[in-house]
């Protein structure tokens, strides 16, 4: 646990008592604060009460008279589309609003670090797609290289649940826009921006607000190294803002769309080969074509970002390549489920938006595509470049018929349920083909989460093999 510093003897309100909220309450108490907890869910309140926390309805007028700060869980709106009532009360009372990420960064470094031979570092990863895989890949490579490393944030453990770092320790954080948008402190040593595509626009009042939330990790944090995907205009703009000039190697540009040139530091992937250039000369390369845990250009982008992050810590290209080769991938993200009778089964349930689904479609050939669900704002027209690889679509979800009608030029069958879609796809799949779950939609019309949807896909595949 990382005890929260700076609130000794003060009352700090915690709104939302899920994983991050309870973790924040425990860390606040460990640092000498008195947490005052609230959640609309009675079961969540009971869990907190069983751990000895004070439970108080902070949605009532006057509740913030003796509160030093309000700590808010990521799923609770603090500004758009409108602030949660409790957040609004705190702001009206002049009480600072923060989250567990802000608490982590204000508390991570302590006076005890003076006794460590090598100062610990934090690598923070954000972006629309690929941040989980990039974070896990960095963690895996560092672990395989024998580094003391912990994975936390939006993946792995809660940020305040990790162990105090040892000498030379590294913490890898995956951070969502919800987390970067509100955190009052953001001070990573290395910050990574993978890419940007429309998502969570209601929470950020549009694409500009969404990008601004991601940008805070760099603008507020002032990292020693900034690793930035430059295949979108927002990434190019961010790299330009962080750099003092073309040769400024504090910024590492990443691309999977083109060869990057110039006197600075860059990592790019083309035709299955990752290349690192510094000062106009090649400094390293990796053949990605046979690395099964990282298929497709979207995973090559993840690999470029992870490679750059590991290089900033001094790892040699061959050491990184060895780590890549043993990386098994993450569940529900281009996850290889099985290979039978020449047919490959891939679970990419995390492809909940058009951009991530398109990358999955472009990563494979001869696809029997299981898609559909709760359609997101903007429609699915952006999938068109990847549809050339689709032999047939098997559409699930409550809006399956409407989804299927938008798949122009592709044979589509309305299956509605996962069981029907898997059964039909497996019956029709032949040697050399791929049955791919990449929904291009949210899961909430039929499932509690994309994980549950992916698990259902796996279950239906396995019982038919």
The CA distance from 237 to 243, in Å, is 10
The CA distance from 398 to 395, in Å, is 10
Structure tokens at 266: 């860059």
The CA distance from 14 to 17, in Å, is 8
Task: Please report, in range form, the residues annotated as the binding site for ATP.
Answer: 127-133
Q: Which of 235, 242, 277 is nearest to 260 (CA)?
A: 277
Contact in structure between 24 and 78 (CB atoms under 8 Å): no
Element (H, E) at 213: helix 207-219
The residues near 315 (Cβ < 8 Å, ≥ 6 apart) are: 141, 142, 145
Q: Is 252 left (phi over 0), alpha (psi -120 to 50) or beta?
A: beta
Looking at residue 387, the DSSP 8-state letter turns out to be G
Alpha-carbon distances of 298 from 130, 255, 291, 358, rounded to whole Å: 7, 10, 13, 9
Determine whether 408 is exposed, middle or buried from the number of CB atoms within 10 Å of its CB (0-12, 13-18, 19+): exposed
Task: Please report, in range form, the residues annotated as the binding site.
Answer: 127-133
The residues near 55 (Cβ < 8 Å, ≥ 6 apart) are: 37, 38, 45, 48, 49
Looking at residue 376, the DSSP 8-state letter turns out to be P
The CA distance from 317 to 277, in Å, is 12
Contact in structure between 126 and 180 (CB atoms under 8 Å): yes
Structure tokens at 74: 């990521």
Adjacent-strand bridge partners of 228? 193, 253
Neighbours of 17 (CB within 10 A): 27
Neighbours of 46 (CB within 10 A): 12
């Amino acid at each position: 646990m990382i005890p929260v510093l700076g609130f000794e003897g003060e009352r700090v309100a915690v709104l939302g008592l899920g994983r991050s909220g309870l973790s924040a309450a425990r860390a606040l108490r460990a640092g000498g604060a008195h947490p005052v907890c609230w959640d609309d869910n009675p079961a969540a309140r009971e869990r907190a009460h069983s751990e000895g926390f004070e439970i108080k309805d902070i949605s009532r007028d006057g509740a913030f008279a003796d509160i030093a700060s309000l700590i808010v869980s990521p799923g609770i709106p603090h500004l758009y589309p409108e602030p949660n009532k409790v957040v609004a009360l705190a702001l009206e009372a002049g009480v600072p609003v923060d989250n567990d990420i802000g608490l982590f960064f204000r508390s991570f470094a302590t006076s005890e670090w003076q006794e460590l031979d090598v100062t610990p570092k934090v690598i923070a990863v954000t972006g629309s797609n690929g941040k989980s895989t990039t974070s896990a890949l960095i963690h895996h490579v560092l672990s395989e290289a024998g580094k003391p490393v912990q994975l936390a944030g939006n993946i792995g453990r809660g940020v305040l649940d990790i162990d105090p770092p040892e000498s030379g320790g590294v913490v890898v954080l995956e951070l969502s826009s919800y987390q970067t948008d509100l955190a009052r402190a953001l001070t990573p040593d290395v910050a990574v921006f993978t890419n940007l595509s429309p998502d969570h626009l209601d929470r950020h009042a549009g694409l500009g607000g969404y990008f601004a939330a991601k940008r805070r990790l760099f603008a507020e944090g002032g990292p020693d190294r900034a690793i930035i995907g430059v295949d979108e205009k927002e990434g190019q703009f961010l790299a330009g803002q962080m750099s003092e000039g073309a040769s400024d190697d504090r910024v590492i540009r990443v691309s999977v769309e083109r060869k990057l040139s110039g006197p600075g530091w860059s990592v790019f992937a083309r035709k299955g080969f990752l290349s690192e250039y510094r000062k106009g000369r090649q400094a390293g390369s990796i053949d990605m074509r046979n690395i099964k845990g990282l298929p497709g250009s979207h995973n090559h982008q993840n690999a470029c970002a992870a490679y750059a992050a590991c290089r900033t810590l001094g790892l040699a290209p061959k050491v990184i390549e060895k780590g890549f080769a043993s990386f098994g991938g993450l569940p529900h993200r281009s996850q290889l489920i099985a290979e039978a009778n020449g047919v490959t089964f891939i679970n990419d349930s995390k492809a909940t938006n058009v951009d991530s689904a398109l990358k999955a479609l472009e990563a494979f050939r001869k696809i029997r595509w299981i898609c559909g669900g709760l359609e997101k704002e903007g429609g699915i027209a952006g999938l068109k470049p990847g549809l050339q690889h689709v032999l047939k679509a098997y559409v699930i979800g409550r809006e399956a018929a409407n989804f299927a009608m938008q798949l122009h030029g592709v044979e589509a069958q309305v299956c509605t349920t996962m069981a029907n879609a898997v059964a039909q796809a497996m019956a029709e799949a032949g040697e050399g083909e791929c049955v791919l779950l990449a929904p291009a939609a949210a899961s909430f019309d039929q499932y509690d989460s994309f994980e549950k949807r992916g698990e259902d896909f796996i279950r239906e595949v396995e019982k038919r093999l």
